[in-house]
Each structure stands twice: as structure tokens, then as C-alpha cells.
Amino acid sequence: MVTNLVLVRHGETQWNKDSKYQGAVDIELNKKGEEQAQELYNFLKDEKFDTIYSSTLKRAYHTVKDIADYQNKDLITIADLMEIDFGQWEGLTFAEIEESYPKLAHKWAKDPTCCKPPEGEHIQEVEERVGEAIDQIIKENRDKKVLIATHGGIVRIIIAYLLELPLNRMFSIEVDNVSISRVKFYDQYPVVKLLNSTHHLKQI
């Protein structure tokens, strides 16, 4: 049996454009993000998906909602696919975080497994909830093709989790807005077929 996961990061938001940390805050797509979602729709709408999932956050949900509607599929939301909760760092740029939390910011950027943002999630806690969600998705969709709309940090964690990579290297994986990554399972053995592809996007 072969199971296919198609992982999509949400379209651009204003906080993305402004280089602000956004995690649990429910930020909408901006105009460019909506246009990116349309490009994604044009590219994926005729690719047959058995099931379509999304984070509960609007920016992920609205990135694939039109695809789900076109294919007459329920868009199933899963809270455990939400982005990392950055706590007090939400809405700040890294420069602002450095200014307020100089030692912690540099330690976390170098190795996110060392510590966590104030009042935020530890990266290992995130991997635990995301891993459980992905394991359940795979269990329920054996030999099917699944589309998952989520977030940059979560795509990185999914790839690291499935390939058993060390989490302290997760930021070595680039994940752009509306990028597509594909993982194929051969007898439950994961193989990354595509990573961070944006060739479907026009110059918006």
C-alpha cells in the first residue's frame, strides 16, 4: 500500500510580510496570500485527494478551502496542526525579540530544543502533538492521498518527525508560503518526494 501526504504551508499574511512571529494568533491572509491561495487552487484543484485537513487557524483553512469545495470534500480541521505558540514573542520581529530577550533569543534560534519562548510552547511539546496528529491521519488514510494545510514550523516538524531527524536542525529546512511538500509511504516507510516547491506560483 502507498499513502501520500501533500503538505502545504498557508499563504502570506501581513505578519509574514512584516517578519513578525505568528503562531497561535489567528491572522488572516493578506491580499497577496489570497492570490497565492488562488494559484494553489488552480494547480491542485484537479488532483484527486481522498481527504483534506487543515489547521484550525484561518490562514491555513482559507488557503485550501476552495480546493475542498471544488472537490466536494469536507475540510477537516485539527487543532494539533496549529503553529507553534510563541507566547510573548507573538507579533514581534526577531530584532525586537533580541532586544527584549537577548540571551534566550540567541539560544533558541541556535537550538530550539534548549528552551521555549516565555509563556509559549516547547518545541518537543509541539512535536508530540503534531506527531500524534500525523500518526492518526496516516492510520485513517492508508493507501490514500491526503492534503494537509498547515504552517511553516509544523511542516518542518512533520518532516523531522517522519524522517527521525533531530529537532535542533528543523530551521535548516526552508518552508515558503504556499509551498508544496510531498511524502510518500511505502509499507509505512516515508520517502520525501518533494520539498518546499513553489513552481506553481506566478510572480505575484
Is 200 an active-site residue? no
Q: Is the dihedral of CA 125, 140, 26, 109 positive or negative?
A: positive
Amino acid identity for residue 79 in this structure: A
Rounded to whole angstroms, the Cα distance separating 134 from 53 reads 11
pLDDT at 188: 82
Residue identified by cell 481527504 is 51
Structural domains in the chain, CATH included, are 2-197 (3.40.50.1240)
Q: Which residues contact 106 (CB under 8 A, 6 or more apart)?
A: 98
Catalytic residue among 12, 28, 35, 83: 83
CA distance 177 to 145: 22
* Residue-level pLDDT at 202: 77
In the predicted model, residues of the chain with pLDDT beneath 50 are 204
- CA–CA gap between residue 53 and residue 197 (Å, rounded): 19
CB of 180 within 8 A of CB of 197? yes
Model-level pTM?
0.95
pLDDT of residue 203: 60
